Structure 1
Amino acid sequence: MFTLADARPGLIERALDEGLHVLAEKPLGSDAAQEERLLARIESSGRLVVVNLFNRNTWYHQFMIDFVRSGQLGRLVSIEAVHLTPDLLPTEGHQPEGPPFRDCGMHYVDLVCWYAGSDFAEWDARGLRLWDWPDPWWVDVHGHFRNGTLFRIAQTFGYGQQAEQVAARSQFEVVGSHGVVRMRHDFAEVIVECHGRSSTVQRAGPYQGKRLDVLAERFADVIEGRAVVDLPSAADSVAAARTAEEMLCAARRRSTAIGTAADLDKALRYRAALKQQGRAFPEALLT
């Protein structure tokens, strides 16, 4: 189900009524209440519903989490996810998915939770209402999990929107009592560095996008009984979306404004011009 979020619940319910398994994009609905109702329907259906929480599909996060789970880092201390891009602006068709932190940010809410192996305990969230838009287009959250591990997530679609040549910053770091694992990518190449108590490894490889093909193959393996694989579930997606929405609401309450509506108009015109030239994000970085 790769429609916008407002159309997904009805289509998923139709598929379940037909007895089908479902592979869906996230978020599963337009708001937390709608997703909770859908989750109850999914869990009573007896069907497999897998959601494209894409970071779990990638070679680099699979490699990193295996290193973490091997015990090379010792006890987890902190996890940081930073994902800053010059992506969709307000009014650019993003409405059914919600503001960037609920849509894109929920990926990183899921990711830090996946690595921590624990539920969130508490956090502090701050937002920046770029161009004086009502919703924060830049959110920074920090806090800790129930197991004591610290976390930080920073996410925006307002990173250098009017630069001559667009750029992005995406990095992830896990620190333990004995070592550290870190990753960075520029949407072309990924660099992973693992510094463990008895092993030091560096890997580099292509970014390769969201690797939906990997998820689809694992999905088929589970359905046909060829493998038992830990797939991102509807419950995982709903939990991440709900938490991201709560963090977004907290950031909205404690937000400041920078810029004006006139600045947003300029950014929209500039981004439209870049698109015509094939120089907008993400195309400019993928080529």
Structure 2
Amino acid sequence: MSTRIKTGLIGLGRMGRFYLEEMQKSGEWDIRYICDVNPGIRALAGELSPGSKIIEDEQVIFEDPEIEVVGLFTLADSRLEQISKAVHYGKHIISEKPIADTVEREWEAVRLSESSPLLSTVNLYLRNSWYHQCMKHYIEQGEIGELAILRICHMTPGLVPGEGHEHEGPAFHDCGMHYVDIARWYAGCEYKSWHSQGINMWNYKDPWWIQCHGTFDNGVVFDITQGFVYGQLSKDQTHNSYVDIIGTKGIVRMSHDFKTAVVDLHGVNQTQRIEKPFGGKNIDRLCRLFAESLRSGVRHPLLPRLRDSAIASEYAWKFFLDAKEHELPSIGKVQTLERIRERRRNMKNGYGLIKRF
């Protein structure tokens, strides 16, 4: 491995730019190529990374023998083909989630990656957050006794139907799979049973808010609530995001305002309150762990695997489809949804706004 890791980025949309920015800051990455099919984004790429070759054809990256790592940040329906190419041409992989556009294709991507000695990871960003690592360490010390109940809630006025979910699924899959993954990470085993309830807000065809509860194989129970329905037309927008973990002896909990995260630890021997910067998508940490793993030749235990993404995606879909099997009230009018879309098109600051070019 050379001093800087020779890298090609495919896709420079919202997430692709996060990676580019963090890789440029770290100094560990030599961004040789940036590929995007959108001419406007290619023009922007030239401004953001003048030392990179800006191209339209991703094949150029795969066929360059000097490229060591590919970053896959396009839409989900292109990722299986790109993962297949990466394995064929011997490139290590950093991928956004989900790793393909259907569960079957995701498991094919897993099979390809696991049949190769190449290093691959996926952005399940909550695993790399300081607050979840802090809470899990505290739990492993025995401070809250036996893990019993996992409660996770994430509701914002974020992406509404028609704003980018076409290839990654509805809200509970696109966003909710992160919470499906982190609950499994805490439980340390697989999902066993579940029941979901949803609601078709604004008379949209799919539920944009879902609450799912159930059990894991080890008896731990969970509830996950996710929806981009939280005060979409409020004068001053807000959100509600927390994790509340209950043991047989104590509790740990976290909440954040997207700027500061607050962790409360109430154990049998110590009580702590920790406030630190939220950390965003933790792309810097993911890239650092990946670079460390490449240099050492030993996979860092905190790097998520493509398998983790496939499992989270599969269960997020199962929970979503389970909600559609039960009574699914429809409240609100499509005209309200149109007002929300119009407001979001003109907002300068808000939750999960789509960048315009």
What residue number does 1:238 align with? 310
What residue number does 2:167 align with? 96
| Residue 279 (structure 1) shift | 2.9
Selected match of 1:145 from 213, 216, 226: 216
Q: Write the mapping of 1:1-287 to structure 2, written as runs, cut at 5 A.
A: 1-225=72-296, 229-230=300-301, 231-254=303-326, 255-273=328-346, 275=347, 278-282=348-352
Please say if residues 162 and 271 of structure 1, whose CA atoms lie closer than 8 Å, have aligned partners that are also in contact. Answer: no
Amino acid at match of 1:21: H
What residue number does 2:13 align with? none
Q: CA distance change for structure 1 residues 226 and 205 in 2, over 3 Å: closer, same or farther?
A: farther
Cα deviations across residues 169-220 of structure 1 (Å, max 9, x unaligned)?
1100111011100000011111100011111111001112011110111111
Please say if residues 86 and 168 of structure 1, whose CA atoms lie closer than 8 Å, have aligned partners that are also in contact. Answer: yes
Q: CA distance change for structure 1 residues 226 and 31 in 2, over 3 Å: closer, same or farther?
A: closer
| Residue 229 (structure 1) shift | 2.1
Please say if residues 8 and 28 of structure 1, whose CA atoms lie closer than 8 Å, have aligned partners that are also in contact. Answer: yes
| Residue 28 (structure 1) shift | 0.5
| Residue 105 (structure 1) shift | 0.3
Distance 2:192 2:73 in 1: 32
Distance 1:227 1:244 in 2: 30
RMSD of aligned residue pairs (Cα, Å): 1.3
Distance 2:219 2:200 in 1: 31
Distance 1:197 1:226 in 2: 40
Query: May I ask how many residue pairs the two structures share in their alignment?
Result: 280
SS in 1 for 2:167: helix
SS in 2 for 1:97: coil
Cα deviations across residues 221-254 of structure 1 (Å, max 9, x unaligned)?
1122176521110000000000000101111222
Unaligned runs of 5+ in 1: none
Specify which structure has the bigger relative contact order, considering alpha-carbon pairs within 8 angstroms and separated by 6 or more residues.
Answer: 1
| Residue 282 (structure 1) shift | 4.3
Identity of matched residues, %: 38
Please say if residues 109 and 244 of structure 1, whose CA atoms lie closer than 8 Å, have aligned partners that are also in contact. Answer: yes
| Residue 81 (structure 1) shift | 0.6
Please say if residues 128 and 286 of structure 2, whose CA atoms lie closer than 8 Å, have aligned partners that are also in contact. Answer: yes
Distance 1:59 1:158 in 2: 27
Please say if residues 254 and 262 of structure 2, whose CA atoms lie closer than 8 Å, have aligned partners that are also in contact. Answer: yes
Unaligned runs of 5+ in 2: 1-71
Cα deviations across residues 127-147 of structure 1 (Å, max 9, x unaligned)?
111111111100100011111
Please say if residues 86 and 281 of structure 1, whose CA atoms lie closer than 8 Å, have aligned partners that are also in contact. Answer: yes
Please say if residues 156 and 240 of structure 2, whose CA atoms lie closer than 8 Å, have aligned partners that are also in contact. Answer: yes
TM-score by length of 1: 0.94
| Residue 266 (structure 1) shift | 1.5
**Structure (1 or 2) with the larger CA radius of gyration:** 2
